Chains A and B, each alone.
Chain A
Amino acid sequence: KAGVTQTPRYLIKTRGQQVTLSCSPISGHRSVSWYQQTPGQGLQFLFEYFSETQRNKGNFPGRFSGRQFSNSRSEMNVSTLELGDSALYLCASSRAGTNTGANVLTFGAGSRLTVL
C-alpha cells in the first residue's frame, strides 16, 4: 500500500512569504503529526491531528498552523517566513486513534523548505 506522501518535496521561498505543505497519510491512518528537522535541533514536534482536531501542539510560534481534512489528509502552513524556518518538514501517520502509546509512526520523505 502507498506510504505517507508529502508535497512538495522541495521548495524555495523568500522571507515574509507564506508556505503550505501537504501530507497524505497511509490509508486507514487517522493520526497525522508534523515535525521540523534541522541539523542543530534534531526533530522538533510541531502538532498532531486526529479526526480533524488538533490534539497536541509543540512549542512553536503561532506562525505555524495546520489542519486536517475529513479524509485525514493534512496541511501545515507557515506564515511570514523567517530564515530560521529553513528545514525539512516531516509528516508522520499512525494507525491507531492517536499518536499514542506504542504506536509506530510512519514518516513521509519530507518537504525541504529553503527560505532566502
Chain B
Amino acid sequence: AQSVAQPEDQVNVAEGNPLTVKCTYSVSGNPYLFWYVQYPNRGLQFLLKYITGDNLVKGSYGFEAEFNKSQTSFHLKKPSALVSDSALYFCAVRDKRNNDMRFGAGTRLTVKP
C-alpha cells in the first residue's frame, strides 16, 4: 500500500528563521515526489519535484526539498521564511509502477513577523 504522511498539522516559525515541513512516504521502488502549496481560496500550485539524481531539489520561491531514500523522506525547506510563505503545504507521491498519486493531509505553515 502507498501512503504519504505529513506528521505535523501545523508549523509555526518566525520570519527570517529557517523552516522545515516534513513528509515521509511508504511506496516500493523509487517514486516521484512533489510538493504543492495552497493559498487561501486558491487551488494547489506546484513548488518542486524529485525525479532522480541529486537529492537536493530546488523549486519556486526559494524552497528546496531533500530526498532521503533510507529514511523515505522528502522534507521541504527554506533558509529564511517570509510572512507570505504562510499557506497550506501538500506532499505528494506517485508510484511509478501504477501511476497512482497520493497526497498527504497537508501542513499549515504560519510565519509570524
Residues of A within 8 A of B (CB): 4, 6, 35, 41-43, 45, 56, 90, 92, 98-102, 104-110
Residues B102 and A45 in contact, CB atoms below 8 Å apart: yes
Residues of B within 8 A of A (CB): 32, 34, 36, 41-46, 49, 51, 90, 94, 96, 99-106
Q: Describe B's contact surface by its main secondary structure.
A: strand
Known contacts being A41-B105, A42-B105, A102-B32, is A109 close to B49, with CB within 8 Å? no
Residues of the A chain whose Cβ atoms lie less than 8 Å from the Cβ of B44: 43, 90, 92, 105, 107
Residues A109 and B42 in contact, CB atoms below 8 Å apart: yes
Known contacts being A42-B106, A101-B32, A104-B49, is A90 close to B43, with CB within 8 Å? yes
Residues of the B chain whose Cβ atoms lie less than 8 Å from the Cβ of A110: 43
Residues A106 and B46 in contact, CB atoms below 8 Å apart: yes
Q: Describe A's contact surface by its main secondary structure.
A: loop
Question: Measured between C-beta atoms, what is the minimum distance from B65 to chain A in Å?
Answer: 14
Residues A101 and B99 in contact, CB atoms below 8 Å apart: yes
Question: Told that A90-B44, A100-B94, A109-B42 touch, could you supply 4 new A-B pairs with CB distance under 8 A?
Answer: A43-B106, A101-B32, A101-B96, A107-B45
Task: Provide 21 A-B residue pairs closer than 8 Å at the C-beta atoms, listed in order of the A residue.
Answer: A4-B43, A6-B43, A41-B105, A42-B90, A43-B44, A45-B101, A45-B102, A90-B43, A90-B44, A99-B99, A99-B101, A100-B94, A102-B32, A102-B94, A104-B46, A105-B44, A107-B43, A107-B44, A107-B45, A109-B41, A110-B43
